Amino acid sequence: MRSVKYLMAAGAASLLSSAALAADMPSIMPAPQPYYAPPPAQDFGGWYLRGDIGMTNTSGKLFAPGYNDASTVSFQQVGHEFTGGTSYGLGVGYQFNGWFRADITGEYRSRVNFSGNDFVVVNGLNGVPGNSPLGDTYNGGYSSWVGLVNAYADLGTWWCITPFVGAGVGFAYNKTTGLSDMATFPANNLSTSLYQAQGASKTDLAWALHAGLAYKVNSNFTIELAYRYLDLGSAVTGGGSTFAGTTSLRPFQFNNLTSQDVKLGVRWTCCEVEPAAPPPLIRKG
């Protein structure tokens, strides 16, 4: 019996010694690879379509070619102004990153009516010596097609609202719709006379400055409220009938045409770019 107990005790001691030795040995099982969550999707990138409707507020001056000569003693313009109008635009653009985007836009600007008065003193009017005053009352109008290449900087987003600024350059196709000139010669006891100019068209350089707020409804749809300063260049009339009933080819010209517009627009991101997947983790052992 003593020998059996001795053998059992020796066996138990051997097992404990083997377990302790195994605990001291380095593990040969590979450590599990750490898990890296993919980065969150970036909220930018991709092509977009846009549409805009706006209210226009045009300003400019009318130049009468008949007063551009040495006989004009003095010249004063009063009340030269345009009525308000509307604009309708479409475009396509690309969001390059989180703050920069660009687009190409085309728009139609509705006809705006022009009215104003000139008060002029000329020397030797109708062969009468001395200075003669006269007054002109004008009525006319023009419409436009405008194409622009625009670039914008988004200035950050708070509560889904992104303020932005931008600039654009392109062309304006300005088409006049005729002009009437009612002239009165009070000092010479001459009755009121009428000059009727035909319409004409002219293409000129256009440029714009933008500022506004964009509200992101969801990942694909954005609403914009924007202000734009637009320089349209100039517009001209055609020839017409003079006071004496003869034909004149000297056009009137609308100079320094600018407009301050308020626009409501929408952007639809149609082909959003997914961010690239992170490279696989390589563990050196």
Taking the domains of the chain in order of start, what are their residue ranges? 53-147+175-204+224-235
Q: Is the pLDDT of residue 154 over 60?
A: yes
**Which tops the pLDDT comparison, 43 or 148?**
148
| DSSP state letters, 140-172 | EEEEEEEEEEEEEEE---BTTEEEEEEEEEEEE
Q: Is the pLDDT of residue 162 over 90?
A: yes
How many beta carbons lie within 10 A of that of residue 285, not counting itself? 4
**pLDDT for position 135:** 84
Q: How far apart are alpha carbons 105 and 52 in whole angstroms?
A: 10
Q: Is the pLDDT of residue 178 over 50?
A: yes
Q: Average pLDDT of the chain?
A: 82
Q: What is the pLDDT of residues 273-282, one digit of tens each?
A: 555 555 555 5
**pLDDT for position 242:** 72
Provide the b/e sequence for 111-134 (b: ≥16 CB within 10 Å): ebebebebebbbeebeeeeeebbb
Prediction pTM value? 0.76
Q: What is the pLDDT of residues 92-123, one digit of tens each?
A: 999 998 899 999 999 999 999 999 998 888 77
- The whole-number average pLDDT for the span 145-159 is 96
**pLDDT for position 4:** 45
Q: Is the pLDDT of residue 198 over 70?
A: yes
**pLDDT for position 280:** 56
Q: Is the pLDDT of residue 30 over 60?
A: no
Q: What is the pLDDT of residues 238-248, one digit of tens each?
A: 988 876 667 77
Q: Is the pLDDT of residue 26 over 80?
A: no
